[in-house]
């Protein structure tokens, strides 16, 4: 066996850089760079969760005094972020009230005014865009939502041979979304509205997957909300500004309906296709409609979710 | 064993140092670019805000009652400023039995029903007193009571309207907290051409990755 030839030594000079020390320092440098880059989203975090919010109790466990403090905190945060002093309330369900929505498919012309009135009323993110109502365009003679289109760009509506089916949260009696929530951040209230506590939601999106109506929306980015279009009439479970990483959905305009008013999508509908009211009141419009009209579907009835949103025809 | 590179040790050190310096420079540059987030977030145009006209909740038309309440100009309803009393205005038809609208009433477009049976002015207007309307059974109604006139033919729809199932509504569903504002037939329907005209829809949802420039890539389903 021949002895190995002597390895050429770099030790002739102290200033020379060996391959090993170069690799080591490069690895260290790139490691630091990668660490810095991975932390760089922190620079965009201008709304750190406050200690108050972090330590806040579950909605149903809050005492009235604690709720007052929570509402004050939200008002302060909204004012700091958007420069507008809002009026945030926590409206509770009324006794003897169960909300039902009816939508007249004979009348709907697919003008999408409800979509944008909802966006304006509920402080929805404009960029990226979040909308609670999806207006489906369906060919006559079918109710196959597979054939539906919701990005139609017609010049004039209604188009011949089509009808329009606006879909939003159906406020089910048997809501799949509530069952799957691992942290009870969403639940059904006694007036039938399924609500979300945005401060309790962990953003796992199970509810989005469970909902057969595609009614739930996720804040993939910080909501882009122009300050000049903020609606200052806010409610804790309703339209207060959401944050990155939480779910939201239609809540029947809780800040309006629990104060006795009609929802925004109903008031803006130019053809009066939308009807809303208390089903427990026999004199309400919705009671009349369910009694007298051809109410033909709860959407995807076979899912067993039993929606409180009814579609009907006139003729 | 192959012999090593023929470079002299001094040259080789200089070459290595040069390469290392260049590589370090490249890494530093990349780190700088990375932190500056030059390609981390592709820029895209912001979604335009929707035209506020689409948020308007006002009714399309004003009824006689609205105008009277707002104390606006009611001269359009003063028929005898032009017409003569006790002299029913003549009505002319063309060969297809379409009514010929006189020049003085050129803003009126007749289109009440898809047939031609309801294009006669005096089905609703009273020819012996133009200031009132009348139903087929002879009841006289003022312009402010026009909804009752509509209901004299459109009974089921009138019933729905009375029950709140037809027509627009705003205000309070809980009448103990506040009033609900109901509209008359003529707030939405033009009595001469009641079919609601088609209109431009509000913009569709924006795609997540900026506006679609190529319309042929519109999803077809």
| CB-CB neighbors (< 8 A) of A156 in chain B | 198-201
Q: What is the ipTM of this complex?
A: 0.80
Q: Which tops the pLDDT comparison, A102 or A7?
A: A102
Distance from CA of B187 to the nearest CA of A (A): 10
Verify whether the Cβ–Cβ distance A260 to B176 is below 8 Å. yes
- The length of chain B in residues reads 221
B97 pLDDT more than 90: no
Helix B9-35, helix A19-39: angle, nearest 10: 0
Residues of B in contact with A13 (CB under 8 A): 13
Per CB-CB distance under 8 Å, the chain B contacts of A131 are 205
For residue A249, which of A292, A271, A218, A227 has the smallest C-alpha distance?
Answer: A218
The answer to whether the CB atoms of B221 and A147 lie below 8 A apart is yes
**pLDDT above 80 (res A240):** yes
> Using 50, 70 and 90 to split pLDDT, how confident is the model at B41?
low
**Subunit contact B178:A257, Cβ cutoff 8 A:** no
* Phi and psi based region of residue A299 (left: phi greater than 0; alpha: psi -120 to 50; beta: remaining): beta
Average pLDDT, chain A: 90
If one compares B82 and A177, the residue with the highest pLDDT of the two is A177
Check pLDDT > 70 for residue B182.
yes
Shortest distance, CA A293 to any CA of chain B (angstroms): 9
Whole-number percent of chain B with pLDDT over 70: 85
Q: Ramachandran region of residue A245, left (φ > 0), alpha (ψ -120 to 50) or beta?
A: left
List phi, psi (to 5°) of B170.
-150, 170
Contact residues on chain A for B49, CB-CB shorter than 8 A: 126, 226, 229
Confidence of residue A58 (pLDDT cuts 50, 70, 90): very high
Distance between CA atoms of residues A156 and B62, nearest Å: 23
**Residue A23: both structure tokens together:** 């690799």
pLDDT at A128: 86
Report the residue of A13, A117, A161 to disrupt the B interface, i.e. the one with the largest count of B CBs within 10 Å. Answer: A117
CB B18 within 8 A of CB A97: no
Gyration radius from chain A CA atoms? 27
B184-to-A44, A180, B66, B208 alpha-carbon distances in Å: 53, 46, 10, 42
The β-bridge relationship of strands B180-182 and A217-218 is unpaired
Contact status, residue A288 vs residue B163, Cβ threshold 8 Å: yes
For residue A5, the chain B residue with the least C-alpha distance is B1
Which one of B165, B189, B194 would you mutate to disrupt binding with A, by most A Cβ within 10 Å of its Cβ? B165
Contact yes or no for B177 and A260 at CB 8 A: yes
Q: What is the mean pLDDT of residues B194-204?
A: 92
- pLDDT in the model for residue A48: 66
Q: Quick check: A286 pLDDT over 50?
A: yes
What gap in Å lies between CA B31 and CA A176, rounded to an integer? 47
Q: How far apart are CA A287 and CA A102, in angstroms?
A: 10
Among A22, A267, A284, whose Cβ lies nearest the Cβ of B170? Answer: A267
- The highest-confidence range among A286-295, B109-118, B212-221, by mean pLDDT, is A286-295
Each residue's pLDDT tens digit, A1-46: 455 565 555 555 556 778 888 899 999 999 998 888 888 777 766 6
Subunit contact B34:A8, Cβ cutoff 8 A: no
Of residues B3 and A69, more confidence is placed in A69
| DSSP-derived secondary structure for B60-90 | SS--HHHHHHTT---GGG-GGGTSPTT-PPP
Residues in A closer than 8 angstroms to B187, CB to CB, are none
Q: What is the mean pLDDT of residues B192-206?
A: 91
Q: How buried is A1 (Cβ within 10 angstroms: 0-12 exposed, 13-18 middle, 19+ buried)?
A: exposed
Whether B212 has a pLDDT exceeding 50, the answer reads no
Per DSSP, the three-state class of B221 is coil
pLDDT at B167 over 80: yes
Looking at chain B, which residue has its C-alpha nearest residue A221?
B208
pLDDT at B38: 67
> In the predicted model, what is the mean pLDDT of residues B151-167?
93
d(CA B28, nearest CA chain A) in Å: 9
Contacts of A284 in chain B (CB under 8 A): 164, 173
- How sure is the predictor about B192, in pLDDT bands with cuts at 50, 70 and 90? very high
The upper half-sphere exposure of residue B85, i.e. CA atoms within 13 Å in the direction of its Cβ, equals 3
Q: pLDDT of A211-220, one tens digit each?
A: 999 999 999 9
Which tokens hold the place of A294? 């051809």
Give residue B36's pLDDT. Answer: 77
Q: What is the pLDDT of residues A62-83, one digit of tens each?
A: 999 999 999 999 999 999 989 9
pLDDT of residue A40: 76
Shortest CA distance to A271 belongs to which of B115, B156, B199?
A: B199
Optimal mutation site among A220, A288, A295, interface B, most CBs of chain B within 10 A: A288
For chain B, report the end-to-end CA distance as a whole number of angstroms: 69
Angle of the B155-163 helix axis to the A285-292 helix axis, nearest 10: 140
B141/B186 Cα distance (integer angstroms): 15
Q: Cα torsion at B151, B154, B159, B164 (round to 10°)?
A: -90
- pLDDT of B155 over the 90 cut: yes
Looking at every residue in chain B, the average pLDDT score rounds to 84
| Six-digit token string for B131 | 């200031």
- CATH no. of A99-313: 3.30.70.20
Cross-chain Cβ contact B201/A111 below 8 Å: yes
Q: How many CB pairs under 8 A join A and B?
A: 174
Nearest CA in chain A to B54: A113
* Long-range contacts (CB closer than 8 Å, 24 or more residues apart) made by B207-216: B208/A128, B208/A129, B209/B44, B210/B44, B210/B45, B211/B45
Contact A275, A101 (CB under 8 A): yes
Nearest to B202 among A116, A229, A266 (CB): A116
- Report the gap between the CA of B114 and the closest CA in chain A (Å): 16
Residue predicted with more confidence, B67 or A263: A263
Mark yes or no for CB contact B54/A116 under 8 Å: yes
Q: Tell me how far apart the alpha carbons of residues B189 and B170 are, in angstroms, rounded to a whole number.
A: 18
How confident is residue B135, by pLDDT bands cut at 50, 70 and 90?
A: very high
State the first-to-last Cα distance of chain A, in angstroms, to the nearest integer: 103
**Per-residue pLDDT at A295:** 85
Interchain pair A109, B199: CB under 8 A:
yes
For A278, phi then psi, to 5°, come to: -95, 115
Cα separation, A163 vs A159, whole angstroms: 8
Average pLDDT over residues A258-262: 96
**DSSP 8-state assignment for residue A215:** -
Higher pLDDT, B78 or A198: A198
Q: Is the peptide bond before A128 cis (omega within 30 degrees of 0)?
A: yes
């Amino acid at each position: 066996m021949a002895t190995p030839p002597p390895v050429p030594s770099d030790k002739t000079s102290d200033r020379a850089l060996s391959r090993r020390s170069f690799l080591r320092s490069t690895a260290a440098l790139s490691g630091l760079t990668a660490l810095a880059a991975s932390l760089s989203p922190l620079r965009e975090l201008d709304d750190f969760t406050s200690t108050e919010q972090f330590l806040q109790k579950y909605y149903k466990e809050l005492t009235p005094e604690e709720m007052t403090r929570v509402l004050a905190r939200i008002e302060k945060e909204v004012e700091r972020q958007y420069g507008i002093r809002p009026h945030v309330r926590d409206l509770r369900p009324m006794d003897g009230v169960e909300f039902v929505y009816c939508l007249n498919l004979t009348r709907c012309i697919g003008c999408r005014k409800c979509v944008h009135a909802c966006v304006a009323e509920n402080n929805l993110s404009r960029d990226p865009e979040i909308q609670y109502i999806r207006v489906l365009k369906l060919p006559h003679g079918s109710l196959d939502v597979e054939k539906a289109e919701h990005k139609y760009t017609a010049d004039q509506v209604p188009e011949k041979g089509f009808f329009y089916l606006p879909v939003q949260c159906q406020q089910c009696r048997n809501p799949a979304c509530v069952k799957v929530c691992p942290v009870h951040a969403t639940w059904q209230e006694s007036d039938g509205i399924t609500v979300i506590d945005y401060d309790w939601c962990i953003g796992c999106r199970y509810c989005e997957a469970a909902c057969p109506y595609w009614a739930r929306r996720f804040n993939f980015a910080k909501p882009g909300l122009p300050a000049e279009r903020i609606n200052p009439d806010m409610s804790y479970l309703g339209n207060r500004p959401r944050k990155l990483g939480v779910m939201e959905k239609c809540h029947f305009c809780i800040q309006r309906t629990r104060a006795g008013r009609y929802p925004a999508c109903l008031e803006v509908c130019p053809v009066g296709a939308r009807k809303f009211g208390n089903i427990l009141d026999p004199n309400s419009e919705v009671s009349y409609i369910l009694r007298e009209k051809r109410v033909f579907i709860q959407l995807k009835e076979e899912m067993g979710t039993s929606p409180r949103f009814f579609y009907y025809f006139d003729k | 064993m192959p012999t090593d590179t023929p470079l002299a040790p001094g040259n080789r050190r200089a070459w290595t140092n040069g390469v290392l310096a260049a590589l370090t420079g490249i890494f530093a540059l990349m780190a700088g670019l990375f932190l500056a987030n030059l390609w981390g977030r592709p820029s895209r145009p912001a979604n335009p805000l929707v035209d506020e006209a689409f948020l308007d909740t006002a009714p399309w038309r004003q009824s006689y009652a609205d105008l009277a309440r707002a104390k606006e100009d009611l001269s359009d309803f003063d028929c005898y400023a032009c017409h003569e009393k006790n002299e029913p205005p003549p009505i002319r038809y063309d060969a297809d039995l379409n009514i010929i609208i006189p020049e003085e009433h050129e803003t009126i477009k007749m289109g009440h029903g898809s047939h031609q049976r309801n294009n006669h002015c005096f089905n609703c207007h009273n020819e012996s007193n133009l200031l009132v309307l009348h139903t087929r059974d002879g009841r006289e109604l003022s312009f402010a009571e026009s909804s009752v006139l509509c209901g004299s033919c459109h009974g089921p729809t009138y019933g729905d309207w009375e029950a709140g199932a037809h027509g627009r509504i705003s205000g309070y569903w809980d009448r103990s907290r506040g009033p609900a504002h109901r509209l008359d037939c003529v707030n939405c329907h033009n009595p001469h051409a009641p079919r609601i005209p088609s209109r431009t829809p509000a913009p569709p949802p924006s795609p997540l990755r900026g506006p679609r420039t190529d319309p042929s890539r519109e999803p077809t389903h």
